Amino acid sequence: MPKSSRIRVVLVGGSGYAGFEAIRWLLRHPNAELVGVFGPASELGPMDGFYPLLSKTVALAQELFTPDKVAATQADLVMLCVPHKVAMSYVPALRQAGLRVIDWSADYRLADARVYEKWYCPHTDPAGLAEAVYGLPEYFAEQIKSATLVANPGCYPTCAVLALAPVLRAGLIQPEGIVINAITGMSGAGRSASLRDHYPERNENFEPYGVGNHRHSPEIEQTLTKITGKQVSVLFQPHLCPMDRGMLCSIYAEPTGKGVTAADVTTTLQAAYAKAPFVRVRTGLLPATKHVAGTNFCDIAAEAAKGKVILFSALDNLIKGASGQAIQNMNLMFGLDETTGLY
Amino acid sequence: MPKSSRIRVVLVGGSGYAGFEAIRWLLRHPNAELVGVFGPASELGPMDGFYPLLSKTVALAQELFTPDKVAATQADLVMLCVPHKVAMSYVPALRQAGLRVIDWSADYRLADARVYEKWYCPHTDPAGLAEAVYGLPEYFAEQIKSATLVANPGCYPTCAVLALAPVLRAGLIQPEGIVINAITGMSGAGRSASLRDHYPERNENFEPYGVGNHRHSPEIEQTLTKITGKQVSVLFQPHLCPMDRGMLCSIYAEPTGKGVTAADVTTTLQAAYAKAPFVRVRTGLLPATKHVAGTNFCDIAAEAAKGKVILFSALDNLIKGASGQAIQNMNLMFGLDETTGLY
Amino acid sequence: MPKSSRIRVVLVGGSGYAGFEAIRWLLRHPNAELVGVFGPASELGPMDGFYPLLSKTVALAQELFTPDKVAATQADLVMLCVPHKVAMSYVPALRQAGLRVIDWSADYRLADARVYEKWYCPHTDPAGLAEAVYGLPEYFAEQIKSATLVANPGCYPTCAVLALAPVLRAGLIQPEGIVINAITGMSGAGRSASLRDHYPERNENFEPYGVGNHRHSPEIEQTLTKITGKQVSVLFQPHLCPMDRGMLCSIYAEPTGKGVTAADVTTTLQAAYAKAPFVRVRTGLLPATKHVAGTNFCDIAAEAAKGKVILFSALDNLIKGASGQAIQNMNLMFGLDETTGLY
Amino acid sequence: MPKSSRIRVVLVGGSGYAGFEAIRWLLRHPNAELVGVFGPASELGPMDGFYPLLSKTVALAQELFTPDKVAATQADLVMLCVPHKVAMSYVPALRQAGLRVIDWSADYRLADARVYEKWYCPHTDPAGLAEAVYGLPEYFAEQIKSATLVANPGCYPTCAVLALAPVLRAGLIQPEGIVINAITGMSGAGRSASLRDHYPERNENFEPYGVGNHRHSPEIEQTLTKITGKQVSVLFQPHLCPMDRGMLCSIYAEPTGKGVTAADVTTTLQAAYAKAPFVRVRTGLLPATKHVAGTNFCDIAAEAAKGKVILFSALDNLIKGASGQAIQNMNLMFGLDETTGLY
């Protein structure tokens, strides 16, 4: 793709951490350029007003979002980094205007509107939902290539599904009774100030949250079922960890038979991801968040103990868990090598 | 206990984090005084040389350990904060000299020498082992009161056992297949400098370690079996968390019947710890390490989701997980109220 | 002081970090007891609702403040931990009710109402101001003993003044042109959530603030002038450091003569604080915030380089910088040894 | 520069933090490629053995350094990331082999061998020293372009000099009596494990070090003198800050006249750096380490208070303070735009 035909990208919702991170990756991307940033009336102005780090690299200001303004940028792609519900109120008009969209919210992740409505709110764009492709490139690359609407996966689902899918598909573990004990760095909790995440409350503090009701739970189950064809049920338990970024899942599952060893699971993972540029199956080394920080990698390792299979999976919640994955999807959608601009 | 009859305490091994913490608590204790600190030839000198924080509060120097020197202090109690194997080489002589001992190492925690030898090394003091009392006051207070040798429990076992014991004993969860996903702050990893725990490696880093082979695993099982009379099997998986102190276990267990609710488990926990001054059963609030940091409390909460019972348990690894618990044991051994000097 | 005559303390404003810390120290104090906590209508309820760490140790609830209610507790002392302006609206009525008061705000720290009004707002209690004693025990112990109203010093002023006062008084450094480069841990910035102190903004971030206009600046100058009799002028520059607690001043001053050495300054400091239980003059070791964390100590060291005298001073902003100093003042006011309950 | 003629870069000493960071930037660079990594016998092996983060992106192993082996790679440039003294023992042979070198050590930074020898050790390559160019692109770009040996500046000197040089040159501040109060994140202290930088010692700890004897002090003075023609004297005082990366200097200087305002200084800085792509002169916003983390920028702001000029300067110690600056130098040496591959 010659420079003259760079992908023109518009970002809607650039003031959150994932949007910020997307901007940084787009700046480095050899075949894409950021041509506009749009947001709500309450958050307008130069991008380096939100993030002083961006001064001298991004001259754009976040302007008031309207579908017409976005269309006027002659963008090839819209990255939609807005809250759920808002996203599906924007998508139809953008698609009407002929724009391809990668939506980072939950609005198009759950294929079944009834499941969506149970966890979120009434779904207002069933047509979009029917056409949306779940943007996990390791499993849906073909559909992503031609998609006009991609639902960028959640960070926890990416981390958990990449570890579990091959092992479930190979029938090495039971699809029921899986425990996913997950931790996230604090950028994953967003940029809204709260007492809970006030520095002196959060520093030196580790704690669980969202017991039994985290919205990433149905997304994990749906995706695993879609990939493996099995009815999967997981107990997903997230925790807040005092660090900026990083996510790690410690997953406990029942093997299907006594003969299942860690080596079997490792071999299965290695085969599954032999050609996946951003998944690293580790042996002799357990995943750690610092091994993936600032990268688009997901590191996975398999172990076995006390009659259970244990999977560890780590990624950077803002990259493989958000912006990096979005760019990986963009690359696929526009015929580029999946890894372009992502090292 | 009049001031004139304060408990005279000797600390052996004062240069580690737990020893340091013990010194601070002893300084505040109204009925105890630190009368000597002893250590190996490689670590001698004024205590504030090891910990400048102690200047002007502790005038003692760590002197070369010999049983005779300890005996010469006319101590009532020896707190032994030395590595396993070393501990059992010191204990017989100390007891011979008529001293009561609280040993912080693993040497007297595993009642069965064969189990000890499987995880550690040959046991050289079977006589001591036979008489040692496991120092978890919530369960063994009566034996502790008259004990001459107390094995101060490990941090992880304290955290896990306090949460699991009542629920297992009440028959609400299955004794097999329990998953204990645990995290610790870095003071729990000791004071020896290593690349793994070098600040720039550890900060912003979360990772699992010790899969299937952490030595606290048999201690947890043995203690639960001792308390509940049931053969208990746990999969214990620890992780390193970038913070100074704090420990949190997220425990996943199978209920014995479909009717078991989180409320049932909570009620059981509340009943079990109604009179335990340092256990707090939480409702409407999940345990967090910052809720217990700097205290001798262990906070526990019960939840249920996806057909499993979930227990969360948090404590300060250096206090209820080490020095605070040792002082709680000391209080019991010398007829004081369990909480003396521990708020 | 027999237990029957413990000092009865009321805390007004218990929901901030310094109030919380005061509660913890009062719990451990052998001759004081907390008999009531009062606050504004917006922040009422059990203390462990604000700080779950306090469960099972403090049964008190924060009740709506009225002078009558405070008087009804039969308190001997009121610790006033409320914002400036609010403090001076409470003090007259409390003193009218015969209560002794330690005020933690700035309202009674600046002896000259005109200076106060320049930096804050109109002063509404000139009578109180005239009688208030500045609660820096190392310099004003005699006045504090009989005071009915003590102005508990700011954290930065305590840290800077303890280092500078003896050296200025001895005429070793010039009273003009002093630079105080200070850093604080984030508990010093209070408990109100803000984007600035949101965990992902603050972690891994170090930055200056309040250039030329920090309100502790006139307090430092006034106190130094009062102690030394010299007109003192300082450039005080604070910075935010990503940690919970701790404060460190690096102070640069011109020696009065070429002959002034670091040893001279050290000797002067040692002489000045020979009997001060909570000041430690360091040699061969520079102050570090971890040496004083969780203690009421202020560590000071003197150096000389490039023709300047350098003073380093460190303390725990919540203890010697707030609650510990308040308790030190309380001890003096009620005839106790200054150090009671403070180790 | 067509892809076929990419700059072939060899890294000597890839196991430290700055070398690691250089590898990451080289991977992204459109006109350079890493063709070899060499090191001492004690640190050989695959690069992802040192840094698991690099797996799947760097296939190279660190091989035993010999000048011949380096020459055999047909490299265009050697980045030398080895300790001082070692560097100057390698440089002559590398240059003999026709290789251009960017040396990251101190060996070629101090133009005067006598100054070098006072702070370090005898200098063994006076010929190299005579030809070396100091690699601060904002001031020596022309010489860098044709240099065969570039001395990559220290992190502290870069941070301090960029702020001070224009202001001194414009005669707005006195060249004597300047105080540079600096802080660094811990990656600046290197990768050797030590008790000082062991996580539980360093976390929540802020402290000064190197009083009056930090080796960056003469480098700062020499560089300022070289740029401004004035005899400059600075008191440089560094501190360790509990974070991974980031550096901030708070600089206090005497204005040359009463009329010098912050605006004057700002205007001077803006003029000096109008064309410098990596220096940002801030107004209405103070530098903070998070504004520059992960970037090659140096942010500077000027203030005035209490009769002094205050300069704040922040950069990422591993990027503008080391690897990014080296790549900026490489770009200049090979005729590329200075910013290539650096966003």
Chain segment D105-162, per-residue pLDDT in tens: 999 999 999 999 999 999 999 999 999 999 999 999 999 999 999 999 999 999 999 9
**Has residue D2 got a pLDDT over 50?**
no
Q: Which residue of A has its CA nearest to D55?
A: A280
Q: Provide the whole-model pTM.
A: 0.97
User: What confidence tens digit (pLDDT) does each residue in B113-155 have?
Assistant: 999 999 999 999 999 999 999 999 999 999 999 999 999 999 9
Nearest CA in chain C to B342: C28
Q: What pLDDT shows up at residue D1? A: 43
Q: What is the distance in angstroms between the CA of the first residue and the CA of the last residue of chain A?
A: 18
pLDDT number for residue D213? 86
Q: What are the structure tokens assigned to C68, written together? A: 């009558």
Helices (H) and strands (E) in chain D, counts: 13, 15
> Which of A81, A155, A159, A241 is labelled catalytic?
A155
Instruction: Read off the pLDDT of residues A318-334 as tens digits, 9 standing for 90 and up.
Output: 999 999 999 999 999 99
Mutation choice for A interface testing from C43, C198, C199, C240 by most A CBs within 10 A: C199
CATH of B156-317, one of 1.20.120.400, 3.40.50.720, 3.30.360.10, 3.20.20.70: 3.30.360.10
- C-alpha B238/C-alpha B214 separation (Å) is 8
DSSP string, B101-131: EEE-SSTTT-SSHHHHHHHS---S-HHHHHH
Least confident of A2-11, A137-146, B176-185, D279-288: A2-11
Contacts of D199 in chain B (CB under 8 A): 186, 197-199, 202-203, 242
A-contacting chains (≥3 CB pairs under 8 Å): B, C, D
Q: For residue C308, give the nearest of D235, D244, D303 by CB distance.
A: D235
C162-177: average pLDDT: 98
Query: Which tens digit of pLDDT belongs to each residue from C292-312?
Result: 999 999 999 999 999 999 999
Nearest CA-CA distance, residue A284 and chain D, Å = 11
Å from B137 to nearest chain C CA?
18
Q: Tell me which residue in C194, C204, C243 faces A193 most closely, judged by beta carbons.
A: C194
Q: What's the rounded Cα separation, in Å, for the pair A31 and A341?
A: 8
**pLDDT in the model for residue B1:** 43
Using the predicted structure, report yes or no on whether residue A4 has a pLDDT greater than 60: no
Instruction: List A293's β-bridge partners, or say none.
Output: none
Residue C189 DSSP one-character state: G
- A vs D, Cβ pairs < 8 A, gives 50
Chain C nearest C-alpha distance from A244 (Å): 5
Domain spanning C7-152+321-333: CATH superfamily = NAD(P)-binding Rossmann-like Domain (3.40.50.720)
CA torsion sign, B97 to B98 to B99 to B100? positive
In A135-246, the DSSP E strands lie at 149-151, 178-184, 207-208, 234-240
Among candidate residues A234, A213, A103, the one with its CA nearest the CA of residue A167: A234
Q: What angle do CA B111, B117, B119 make, to 5 degrees?
A: 95
Of C334, C274, C11, C328, the closest CA to residue C140 belongs to C328
Helix (H) or strand (E) holding B25: helix B17-28
- Which tens digit of pLDDT belongs to each residue from A80-111? 999 999 999 999 999 999 999 999 999 999 99
**What are the residue boundaries of the structural domains of chain C, listed by start?**
7-152+321-333, 156-317
Cβ atoms within 10 A of the Cβ of A51, count? Answer: 21
β partners of residue D10 = D36, D78
Report, as an integer, the average pLDDT of A20-37: 95
pLDDT classification of A2: cutoffs 50, 70, 90: very low
DSSP code of residue A3: G
Q: Which residues in C lie closer than 8 A to residue D201 (C-beta atoms)?
A: 290
* Both tokens assigned to A317: 């919640």
Work out whether strand C45-46 and strand C32-39 pair parallel, antiparallel, or are unpaired.
unpaired
d(CA D328, CA D113) in angstroms, rounded, equals 26
Contact partners, residue A338, CB within 8 Å, separation at least 6:
A137, A141, A277, A278, A328, A331, A332
Q: What is the mean pLDDT of residues D296-324?
A: 98
Give B-chain residues touching C297 at CB under 8 angstroms: 53, 55-56
Q: Is the distance from CB of D325 to CB of D138 less than 8 angstroms? A: no
Query: Which residues of chain B fall short of a pLDDT of 70?
Result: 1-4
What contacts D122, CB < 8 A, 6 or more positions away? Answer: none
Q: In whole numbers, what is the pLDDT of chain D averaged over residues?
A: 96
Separation of CA A246 from chain center? 13
Closest by alpha carbon to B309, among B252, B238, B225, B232?
A: B252
Whether the predicted pLDDT of D210 surpasses 70: yes
| Cβ of residue A339 closer than 8 Å to a chain D Cβ | no
Chain-chain contact of C306 with D235 (C-beta, under 8 angstroms): yes
The C-alpha R_g of chain D, in whole angstroms, comes to 20
Give pLDDT, residue B5. Answer: 78
Q: What is the mean pLDDT of chain A?
A: 96
Residue C179's nearest CA partner among C137, C201, C138, C208 is: C208
What pLDDT, on a 0 to 100 scale, did the predictor assign at position D3?
47
Contact B204, B300 (CB under 8 A): no
Residue whose entry in the numeric block shows the structure tokens 């409505």: A117
Give me the residue label for tokens 């960056």.
D216
Give the pLDDT score at B213. Answer: 86
CA C336 – CA C297 distance, rounded (Å): 18
Judge: A204–C244 Cβ closer than 8 Å, yes or no.
yes
- pLDDT tens digits, residue range A131-177? 999 999 999 999 999 999 999 999 999 999 999 999 999 999 999 99
Nearest to C200 among A186, A200, A204 (CB): A186
Average pLDDT over residues A306-318: 97
Q: Do B56 and C288 touch (CB under 8 A)?
A: no
Q: What CA–CA distance (Å, rounded) separates C279 from C162?
A: 8
3-state helix vs strand vs coil in chain C, percent to 5: 40, 25, 40
Chain C CB contacts of D287 below 8 Å: 207-208
Cα distance between residue B234 and residue B74, in whole Å:
43
Q: What are the pLDDT digits (tens) for C226-271? A: 999 999 999 999 999 999 999 999 999 999 988 999 999 999 999 9
Cα dihedral value A66, A68, A69, A74, nearest 10: 140
A248 bridge partner residues? A183, A314
Residues C278 and C321: their CA atoms lie apart, in Å, by: 12
The candidate with the shortest Cα–Cα distance to D279, out of D174, D150, D102, D161, is D161
- Spot the catalytic one: C155, C159, C241, C249: C155
Q: For all residues of chain C together, what is the average pLDDT?
A: 96
Q: Spell out which residues of chain C touch residue A208, defining contact as CB-CB under 8 Å.
A: none
Residue A280: pLDDT over 60: yes
Mean of the pLDDT values across residues D44-71?
96
- Of C220, C215, C230, whose CA–CA distance to C116 is shortest? C215
Average pLDDT over residues A49-67: 96
Which chains are within 8 Å of D by 3+ CB pairs?
A, B, C
Q: Which pLDDT band, with edges at 50, 70 and 90, does A241 fall under?
A: very high
Q: Is the ipTM of this complex over 0.90?
A: yes
**In chain C, alpha helices (H):** 17-28, 47-50, 67-72, 86-96, 113-119, 126-131, 137-146, 155-169, 199-202, 216-228, 262-272, 289-292, 324-333
Query: Cβ B286–A234 below 8 Å, yes or no?
Result: no
Q: How many CB atoms lie within 10 A of CB A304?
A: 19
> How far apart, in Å, are the Cα atoms of C83 and each of A210, B140, B281, C40, C117?
35, 49, 35, 11, 15
Contact D124, D138 (CB under 8 A): no
pLDDT of residue D286: 98
Q: Please check whether residue D189 is in contact with residue C227, taking contact to mean a CB–CB distance below 8 angstroms.
A: no
The residue-averaged pLDDT of D314-334 equals: 98
What does the alpha-carbon distance between residue A73 and residue A70 come to, in Å, rounded to a whole number?
5
Answer whether B52 touches C (CB < 8 Å): yes
Q: Does C195 touch chain D (CB under 8 A)?
A: no
Cβ of D243 within 8 Å of Cβ of C205? The answer is: yes
**Tell me, what's the pLDDT at A5?**
78
Asked if the model's pLDDT at residue C3 lies above 50, the reply is no
User: If you ran DSSP here, which 8-state letter would residue A312 be given?
Assistant: E
The answer to whether A20 faces chain C, any CB pair under 8 Å, is no
* Chain A stretch 244-303, residues whose beta carbon is closer than 8 A to a beta carbon of chain D: 277, 280, 282, 285, 288, 290-295, 297, 299
Mutation test of the interface with chain C: which of B55, B138, B187, choosing the one with the most C Cβ atoms within 10 A? B55
User: Has residue C52 got a pLDDT over 90?
Assistant: yes
What is the CA A18 to chain-centroid distance, rounded? 10
* Distance separating alpha carbons of residues D73 and D67, to the nearest angstrom: 10
Closest residue of B to C287, CA-based? B52
C320 touches chain B (CB under 8 A): no
